[in-house]
Amino acid sequence: MSKTNKTNKTSRASKTVIVVVDGFGVGAMPDAGALRPGDLAADTCGHVLDRCRDAFGRPLRLPVLGALGLGLVHPHPDLARRTQLPVAVGRAALGYPGADTFAGHQTMMGADFSRVTVARLADHLDEVTRALTDAGHRVELLEGKPLLVVDGAVLVHDNLEADPGINWNASGRVDDLGFDGILAVARTVRAVAPVARVIAVGGHADGPLPGFVRDGDGGTIGLDTPATGFYRNGGLQVQHLGAELDHTRQLPDLAARAGVPVTLVGKAADILACEAAVRRPAVDTAEVLAHTLEAVRTDGDALVVANVQESDLAGHQQDVERYGRILEQVDAGLAALLSLLTEPGDRLIVTGDHGNDPTIGHAFHTREYVPVLIHRPGAAGVELLPDAASLADVGATAAAALGLDPTGLANGTEIRGSSARAA
């Protein structure tokens, strides 16, 4: 396909790489205490640096993140306060409710998630029950609780592994119904659900699912999925059904239609839509970085969106030392990327999708600003950027770097100064 909708900033092929360090926040947003007042103290970056210095007896070794300007965004004694690299650095507000990986990535790619509702299933039981009944299912409450049992086999419930009201699940034992049956229930729920995600989950459990139901935070009730054995018994099947989006107005599709090859790496391969994209799903950080480097080494234009998931997993596990080791591993991978992204049209953007402070005292995401560190080969000096209103501004900035028109996205504004090129 010819690149007729490129703005032709440069005739040379250019590569834009977005590395999302999942759960990497740089301080609480002003509304972070709305759900949990203690979250106003959230600071994933700062607290990991502090605790790892104590645990390791040395500062974390993050020379590349320092050179990319992390210390300018988050002043900390273990981070350099100046850099010789040509970078534009700032922070971004999330631009969507709550703190969620799916909503974060959809927003970053240009979707408008600002109107997605945070809601408990209990507040929408009537419409969900009606939709399932109209679809021919048998529906009942579980022992009078605000949790639905569908066809005697599938539980429709609040997701207890994310912030209250962010996601709902449809969970079942594949031995009882099969995953296709669980997925059919989830799709019916998705059609009426106001939340960002409805997640179909199937697997092999240690017993009947009602025995693993428990109360969650914020008045939620749901299945304790880790306790069921789904994660350890093999055969786990999961499908994320997101809120309705126009994926043609997101960055991967915009780039692909312009003839720019798109590669989605790590969790980005699981949750972003683009039929033309090469997908490299992976959880292991070394594998994510290897796939990213492989995509950058190809000839011609390229858009690569990579998600480092293990940082988020460390946050959920409240494992500060693991989080610190993952950051050091990411830093080494960024060094290799910088060695390949050397031409004036290239861009490396390092950011996050939310916070996940492993010291905060709970296993949920934290609502924090995220860093926006943009390497601009050939540009002059360092530019400090104003706070971006939304992660969508990151996607718009990447579009502009590729010579695409950011107004082709549903949401987002190019960050001022971030796409400046050498004269």
- Burial (Cβ within 10 Å: 0-12, 13-18, ≥19) of residue 207: exposed
- pLDDT tens digits along 48-65: 999 999 999 999 999 999
**Ramachandran angles phi, psi of 375, nearest 5°:** -85, 130
Q: Report the pLDDT averaged over residues 359-387.
A: 94
- pLDDT tens digits along 25-48: 999 999 999 888 999 999 999 999
Domain ranges, ordered by start, for the chain: 15-116+245-408, 121-242
Q: In sequence order, which residues have a C-beta less than 8 Å from that of residue 212 and are 6 or more positions away? A: 205, 223, 224, 225, 227, 228
What residues form DSSP beta bridges with 90?
372
280 touches 291 (CB < 8 A): yes
Lowest mean pLDDT among 15-19, 50-54, 102-106, 124-128: 102-106
Predicted confidence (pLDDT) at residue 78 exceeds the cutoff of 90:
yes
194 touches 224 (CB < 8 A): no
Bridge-based pairing state of the strands 213-215 and 197-203:
unpaired
Res 84: pLDDT: 87
When pLDDT is cut at 50, 70 and 90, the band that residue 242 belongs to is confident
Predicted confidence (pLDDT) at residue 126 exceeds the cutoff of 80:
yes
- DSSP H helical ranges for 6-162: 44-56, 63-67, 70-73, 101-108, 125-134
Predicted confidence (pLDDT) at residue 5 exceeds the cutoff of 60:
no
When pLDDT is cut at 50, 70 and 90, the band that residue 380 belongs to is confident
Predicted confidence (pLDDT) at residue 146 exceeds the cutoff of 60:
yes
Query: Cβ atoms within 10 A of the Cβ of 257, count?
Result: 17
Give the tokens for residue 315.
């946050």
When pLDDT is cut at 50, 70 and 90, the band that residue 4 belongs to is very low
Predicted confidence (pLDDT) at residue 16 exceeds the cutoff of 50:
yes
Q: Report the pLDDT averaged over residues 75-96.
A: 93
CA distances from 355 to 145, 269, 305, 313, 316 (A): 32, 21, 19, 12, 11
Task: Tell which residue, 17, 62, 101, 14, has the closest CA to residue 355.
Answer: 101
Res 231: pLDDT: 87
**Ramachandran angles phi, psi of 307, nearest 5°:** -115, 125
Helix, strand or coil, per DSSP, at residue 295: helix
Predicted confidence (pLDDT) at residue 116 exceeds the cutoff of 80:
no
CATH classification of 15-116+245-408 is 3.40.720.10, yes or no?
Answer: yes
- pLDDT tens digits along 173-208: 999 999 999 999 999 999 999 998 899 999 999 999
Cα–Cα distance for residue pair 209/64, rounded to 1 Å: 47
Res 1: pLDDT: 34
**Residue 24 CA from chain centroid, whole number:** 10
